[in-house]
């Protein structure tokens, strides 16, 4: 496992005008030196972290030696979204920030590390939203922009779900457990539950196996994640919007020089494929090098963490 390193972002002013003397940005580096190899930045999902490769890496079937994103060839960086709890670092006043601020923090982190240009800017779920935000702020930063199971804005559906998450996190007696249980219902699909559980019962616990599985995931998150961090990440998720300054999506896409590869999941109930298809339709009118790829899966939003062979096949043509 690559060591988690820390750099400091000093005198940072948020878009809302709040000045922070110092923000800790934790990151991991895999593969080659960023001085001598094409650099890939990978942004993690809501309750994820920067550990994308190695034995415990969340994309360790895709990123690593002799894999699709080959660390024998590429330099792979991954930042932790500030406040996600890595090294117990939280943002007390997380509402001062939105995902555009996180994108700026990530960009400043790249500058400190001496990275001027990326070969690929990738993100899954909220990480893909932050990738969009980075591309909107710095349209020539990356040769390839690859948002996976993500979009350039939080849709009404996502805002509604993050609103319920916020209420659970503020009002539940077991906030992390209950919020996670609800979240899992948006990350998977009815068909995936039917295939996996088939209305079977855990006789020892006297619960349906789907109930037991949800309880397990709630307890597992509670054991590894901070309540303040979940509130922070939920707030960020609802804030994704590259058009917040008033520019249209078309105007922003027109400025982005990157090849844009939209990767959607046909069964995603969260960042739906239909929204990516709308983005493609609008983008194609003004940009030739915007492409749409679709993961076919029963598993819904989490398929980008499950269907590694399909993700690797899509990435293969790019890498």
User: pLDDT tens, 196-236?
Assistant: 999 999 999 999 999 999 999 999 999 999 999 999 999 99
Closest CA to 150 of 304, 316, 311, 310: 304
**Is residue 103 classed exposed, middle or buried when 0-12, 13-18 and 19+ CB atoms within 10 A define those classes?**
buried
- In this prediction the pTM is 0.98
Closest CA to 237 of 84, 8, 14, 22: 84
Supply the pLDDT for residue 1: 78
Stretch 254-259: mean pLDDT: 98
Domains and CATH numbers, the chain: 5-156+237-316 (3.40.50.1820)
Q: What is the distance between the terminal CA atoms of the chain, rounded to a whole angstrom?
A: 23
59/69 Cα distance (integer angstroms): 10
CA dihedral sign, ordered 59, 62, 66, 69? negative
Closest CA to 187 of 214, 154, 224, 209: 214
Stretch 57-64: mean pLDDT: 98
Predicted confidence (pLDDT) at residue 43 exceeds the cutoff of 90: yes
Predicted confidence (pLDDT) at residue 3 exceeds the cutoff of 90: yes
pLDDT band at 256 (very low <50, low <70, confident <90, very high): very high
Angle at 15 between CA 78 and CA 179, to 5 degrees: 60
Closest CA to 145 of 157, 155, 135: 135
């Amino acid at each position: 496992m690559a060591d988690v390193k820390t750099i400091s972002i000093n005198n940072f002013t948020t878009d809302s005008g709040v000045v922070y003397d110092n923000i800790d940005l934790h990151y991991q580096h895999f593969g080659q030196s960023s001085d001598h190899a094409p650099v890939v930045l990978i942004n993690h999902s809501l309750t994820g972290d920067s550990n994308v490769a190695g034995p415990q890496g969340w994309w360790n079937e895709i990123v690593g030696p002799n894999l699709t994103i080959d660390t024998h060839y590429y330099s792979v960086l991954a930042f932790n979204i500030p406040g996600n709890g890595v090294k117990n670092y939280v943002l007390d006043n997380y509402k001062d920030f939105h995902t555009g601020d996180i994108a700026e923090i990530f960009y400043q982190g790249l500058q400190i590390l001496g990275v001027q240009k990326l070969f690929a800017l990738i993100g899954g779920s909220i990480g893909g939203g932050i990738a969009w935000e980075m591309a909107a702020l710095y349209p020539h930063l990356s040769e390839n922009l690859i948002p996976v199971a993500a979009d350039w804005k939080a849709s009404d559906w996502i805002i509604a779900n993050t609103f319920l998450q916020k209420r659970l996190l503020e009002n539940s007696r077991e906030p992390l457990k209950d919020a996670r249980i609800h979240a899992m219902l948006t990350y998977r699909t009815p068909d995936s539950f039917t295939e996996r559980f088939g209305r079977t019962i855990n006789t020892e616990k006297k619960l349906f196996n789907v109930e037991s599985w949800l309880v397990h995931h709630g307890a597992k998150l509670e054991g590894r994640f901070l309540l303040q961090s979940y509130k922070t990440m939920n707030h960020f998720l609802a804030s994704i919007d590259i058009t917040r300054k008033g520019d249209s999506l078309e105007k922003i896409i027109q400025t982005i020089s990157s090849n844009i590869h939209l990767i959607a999941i046909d069964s995603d109930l969260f960042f739906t494929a239909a929204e990516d298809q709308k983005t493609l339709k609008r983008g194609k009118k003004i940009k030739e090098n915007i492409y749409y790829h679709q993961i076919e899966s029963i598993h819904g939003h989490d398929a980008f963490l499950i269907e590694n062979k399909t993700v690797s096949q899509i990435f293969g043509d790019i890498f």
